[in-house]
Amino acid sequence: RKEVEQDPGPFNVPEGATVAFNCTYSNSASQSFFWYRQDCRKEPKLLMSVYSSGNEDGRFTAQLNRASQYISLLIRDSKLSDSATYLCVVNADSGGGADGLTFGKGTHLIIQP
C-alpha cells in the first residue's frame, strides 16, 4: 500500500462550485499533515496545515480523520485561480524528523468558466 495516496484527477469543476478531495495515508502514527498547492511549472507552496480539530482559511477547509486515516480539502465558491495541483503531505515517519515527510502525487483541479 502506498504511504500517501491521492486521486490524480483531473477534477473539472465549474466556477463557483464546491469541490472536495481526500488523501489517504498508511502510517497510523503520522502526526503532521499539510496541503500544498503547485501551479503548472512552478514550485509547491503551503496552502494550509491540517490540525486534529480541522481548520478553515477563507474558502478552504481541511479536515483530519484519524480513524479512517485520511485528510480532506474542501474548496467553496471555487475561482479560476484555484486551478492547480494540490499535494497532500504527511509525516509518515514516527522518528520525528522532517525527512519523514511524504508527498502524494497530487490532485489536479481545473476550474472552468
Partner 1 sequence: ETGVTQTPRHLVMGMTNKKSLKCEQHLGHNAMYWYKQSAKKPLELMFVYSLEERVENNSVPSRFSPECPNSSHLFLHLHTLQPEDSALYLCASSQDFLPYYEQYFGPGTRLTVT
- Residues near partner 1 (CB under 8 A) are 4, 31-32, 34, 42-46, 49, 87, 91, 93, 96-106
Torsion angle defined by CA atoms of residues 8, 12, 14 and 18, in that order, rounded to the nearest 10 degrees = -30
Nearer to partner 1 among residue 36 and residue 75 (C-beta): 36
User: Shortest distance, CB of residue 83 to partner 1, whole angstroms?
Assistant: 19
CB-nearer residue toward partner 1: 6 or 78? 6
The residue among 78 and 87 lying less far from partner 1, judged by its C-beta, is: 87
User: Closest approach of Cβ 8 to partner 1, in Å?
Assistant: 8
Least spacing, CB of residue 102 vs partner 1, in Å: 8
Q: Which residue type does 95 have?
A: G
What separation, in Å, do the N-terminal and C-terminal C-alpha atoms of the chain show? 37
**112, β-bridge pairs:** 14
CB of 38 to partner 1, least distance (A): 9
Query: Which residue number, 47 or 111, has a Cβ lying nearer to partner 1?
Result: 47
Instruction: Look at residues 7, 10, 89, 6 and name the one whose alpha carbon lies nearest to residue 46.
Output: 89
Place of cell 491521492: 6
In whole angstroms, give the CA distance from residue 15 to residue 78: 5
